[in-house]
Amino acid sequence: MPSGKSIIPARGPGAFAVRMGMAAVVGLIAGVGTQIFGAMPGLLGFALTLVVNAVAMALAFVICIQWWKGIDEAAQEAHKWAWWWGGCTGMAAGGVLLLTALSREFERIDNLTANEILAMGMFLMLTCMIIGYGVAWAAWWAKRQ
Amino acid sequence: MNNRLKVLRAERNWSQADLADALGVSRQTVNALETGRYDPSLPLAFKIARVFEQPIESIFSE
């Protein structure tokens, strides 16, 4: 193999799968790190949790940028269009759901912590955005076949 | 925007995959270009012109 040539494919489904796998590993390390350092009391635990998550996010960005540079301009355009229109539409739908939920009186859920309720709200919004993104991305390509 | 990509490719007996390799894009992108449903950037348009050895205005038209 020529020196300097990456073993990771630059484009295609293989490139996407490899980078998704790398991002998943980074996410797993961040999750384990958060569990370990989050359990430490005081400022040190907070600081280490912050650092491990910041480093993981930076690594995820590096992986994402590498993948972005490997795809062609039409693929980039599809993702940009999907992120704006699909992501925003999903966020709007999630916003409607959350605002509607806030207007209702729900029974108190005592077995959930504030952290868990916050995480559920984030997860709901993220899920709506990803669904919108996926639909918009598929629609962009379907229109151009 | 209209283009003559499909005709030019057929004249050379190239597949969409051949043209995609020459341009450094995916076959799906070549398909989207040929159907006229995706307009290329200026750098890609110049690259297409170089690959077919023709001026841009003879490949693309309004």
Q: What is the 3-state secondary structure (H, E, C) of chain A?
A: CCCCCCCCCCCCHHHHHHHHHHHHHHHHHHHHHHHHHHCCCHHHHHHHHHHHHHHHHHHHHHHHHHHHHHCCHHHHHHHHHHHHHHHHHHHHHHHHHHHHHHHCCCCCCCCCCHHHHHHHHHHHHHHHHHHHHHHHHHHHHHHCC
Domain count, chain B: 1
Torsion angle of C-alpha atoms A12, A60, A31, A128, degrees rounded to 10? -70
Residue B26's domain is classified under what CATH number?
A: 1.10.260.40
Task: Indicate the DSSP class of residue B9.
Answer: H
Residue to test with chain A: of B16, B27, B28, most A Cβ within 10 A: B28
pTM for this entry: 0.81
pLDDT of residue A7: 64
Instruction: Determine, for residues A74 and B29 on separate chains, whether the beta-carbon distance falls below 8 Å.
Output: yes
Q: Which residues form the domain of B32? A: 2-61
pLDDT of residue B62: 84
Tell me if B1 sits within 8 A of B30, measured CB to CB. no
By C-alpha distance, the chain A residue nearest B37 is A144
Burial (CB < 10 A; 0-12, 13-18, 19+), residue B39, is: middle
Instruction: Determine, for residues A145 and B44 on separate chains, whether the beta-carbon distance falls below 8 Å.
Output: no
Contacts of A80 in chain B (CB under 8 A): none
**CB-based contact, A14 to chain B, within 8 Å:** no
Task: Indicate the DSSP class of residue B38.
Answer: S
* Residue A103 Cα distances to A30, A98, B14, B42, angstroms: 35, 9, 61, 51
* Residue A9 Cα distances to A29, A30, A38, A59, A66, angstroms: 23, 25, 36, 18, 11
How does pLDDT run along chain A (145 residues), one tens digit per residue? Answer: 344 556 666 666 778 888 999 999 999 999 999 999 988 888 999 999 999 999 999 999 999 999 899 899 999 999 999 999 999 999 999 999 888 888 877 776 678 888 888 888 899 999 999 999 999 999 999 998 8
